């Protein structure tokens, strides 16, 4: 990274890179959780839920792209081994062992809530210290807030369908 660009960062660079690498690992695991979920999910409202899962998987992949760009710009190296994602992740990976629509939605809502906390924490750390990372995190957080809302409203509709017995 350019020396002037680096000089405006008011926090410890290796600490910042650790946070970015951890978020990167979360995004890959979230991407895969959505992607595999979209392939195996079963039950009522399947079509609408699959469409949302696919859209979110591509958003998570785009987030990992944004994080990689910033990691490299800061002179870091993104995790080069998938096994490191598990060591670094904040939010983990929930395998959709029960592929019914409800547990799949619930697992992904939990993941989004963890992502929202993670990025909120990164905003607190970078505020007034690193405007570039801060701005990137704001963009990602906007998507995560939208993701949570999308999934919770699908879950609400699903509850209505399931309690009225309609398919």
Q: What residue ranges bind Fe ion (CB under 5 A)? A: 27, 60, 63, 144, 147
> Closer to Mg ion at the Cβ: 60 or 150?
150
- Spatial distance between the Cα atoms of 11 and 133, rounded to a whole number of angstroms: 11
Element housing 130 (H / E): none
144 scored as a contact of Mg ion (CB under 5 A): no
Compute the least distance from the CB of residue 151 to Mg ion, in Å: 8
- Spatial distance between the Cα atoms of 57 and 34, rounded to a whole number of angstroms: 5
144 binds, among Mg ion, Fe ion, none (CB under 5 to 8 A by kind): Fe ion
> Closer to Mg ion at the Cβ: 22 or 147?
147
> Closer to Fe ion at the Cβ: 13 or 114?
114
Compute the least distance from the CB of residue 6 to Fe ion, in Å: 26
Contacts of 16 (CB under 8 A, 6+ apart): 9, 74, 125, 126, 130, 133
> Closer to Fe ion at the Cβ: 27 or 130?
27
Of 9-17, 47-55, 95-103, 129-137, the window that binds Mg ion (rule: CB under 5 A) is 47-55
Compute the least distance from the CB of residue 103 to Fe ion, in Å: 18
- Helix (H), strand (E), coil (C) string for 7-53: HCCCCCHHHHHHHHHHHHHHHHHHHHHHHHHHHHCECCCHHHHHHHH
Compute the least distance from the CB of residue 87 to Mg ion, in Å: 29
Please report where in the chains the tokens 């939010």 appear, as a residue.
Answer: 91
Contact 48, 88 (CB under 8 A): no
> Closer to Mg ion at the Cβ: 130 or 150?
150
The angle subtended at Cα 70 by Cα 7 and Cα 107, nearest 5°, is: 135
Compute the least distance from the CB of residue 55 to Mg ion, in Å: 5
150 scored as a contact of Mg ion (CB under 5 A): yes
Binding site for Mg ion (CB under 5 A): 55, 150
């Amino acid at each position: 990274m350019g020396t002037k660009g680096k000089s405006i960062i008011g926090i410890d660079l290796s600490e910042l890179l650790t946070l970015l690498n951890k978020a990167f690992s979360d995004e890959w695991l979230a991407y895969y959780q959505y992607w595999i979920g979209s392939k195996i999910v079963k039950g009522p409202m399947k079509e609408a839920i699959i469409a949302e899962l696919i859209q979110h998987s591509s958003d998570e992949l785009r987030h990992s792209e944004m994080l990689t760009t910033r990691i490299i710009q800061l002179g870091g190296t993104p995790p080069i081994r998938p096994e490191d994602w598990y060591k670094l992740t904040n939010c983990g990976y929930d395998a959709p062992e029960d592929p019914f629509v409800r547990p799949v939605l619930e697992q992904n809502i939990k993941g989004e809530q963890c992502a929202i906390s993670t990025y909120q924490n990164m905003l607190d750390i970078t505020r007034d210290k690193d405007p570039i990372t801060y701005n990137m995190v704001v963009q990602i957080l906007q998507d995560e807030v939208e993701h949570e809302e999308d999934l919770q409203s699908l879950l609400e509709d699903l509850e209505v369908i399931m309690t009225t017995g309609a398919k």
